[in-house]
Amino acid sequence: MSTSSKIMDADQVRRAVTRIAHEILERNKGVDEVCLVGIRTRGVVLAERLRAAIRQIEGKELLYGILDINFYRDDLNIIKKQPVIHETLIDFDITDKKVVLVDDVLYTGRTIRAALDALVDFGRPSSIQLAVLVDRGHRELPIRADFVGKNIPTSKTQQVKVSLQESDSHEDGVVIEG
């Protein structure tokens, strides 16, 4: 029997994004040279929200890009359904920038591995940091997040579902199923 429990509601998501925005500013002592890169699809939405939050706090506009990591996946030969490729849009030079990668859920770490490989093809950032809304554990690679909305202990059989208004036309929230 499958169960479903709500881990974060819309207010909690909003507060987590605001807190991460503050943490990014604190860690980087402002916004100089900081840019955001969202991983498709929900990472892009979260990066846009972080950008808006930082604009409110600091009154400054961050550079921001969109990354599709499918070219860099390590499982193209294994997965059954071929991923549909979407455009990567990073129209600025990331060399010597502090890049904050943004994604919704951190799980095995393989998506982030692919994103790191993709980013270094674009240039040599001075640092790459990672912001995620949810860290659900079960890493298969030595990767950790710098900014986490919420740590959620899960079992591998469970599914973590993030909904965001812009991408899912459904109220913000995080649910665990299974």
Asked if residues 39 and 67 have their Cβ atoms less than 8 Å apart, the reply is yes
Rounded distance, CA 16 to CA 147, Å? 10
Instruction: Rule CB under 8 A: choose which of 1, 32, 121, 157 binds another protein.
Output: 121
| Nearer CB in complex with another protein: 1/79 | 79
| Nearer CB in complex with another protein: 29/80 | 80
Structure-token pair, residue 172: 């913000």
Least distance between another protein and beta carbon 36 (Å) = 19
Residue reference for tokens 């799980």:
107
Rounded distance, CA 126 to CA 131, Å? 17
Least distance between another protein and beta carbon 116 (Å) = 13
How many residues bind another protein, per CB under 8 A?
A: 23
> Hey, which residues between 56 and 95 contact another protein (CB under 8 A)?
68, 70-73, 76-82, 84-89
Angle between the N-to-C axes of helices 10-27 and 42-58, in degrees from 0 to 180, rounded to the nearest 10: 60
Applying CB under 8 A, the residues found at the interface with another protein are 68, 70-73, 76-82, 84-89, 117-118, 121-123
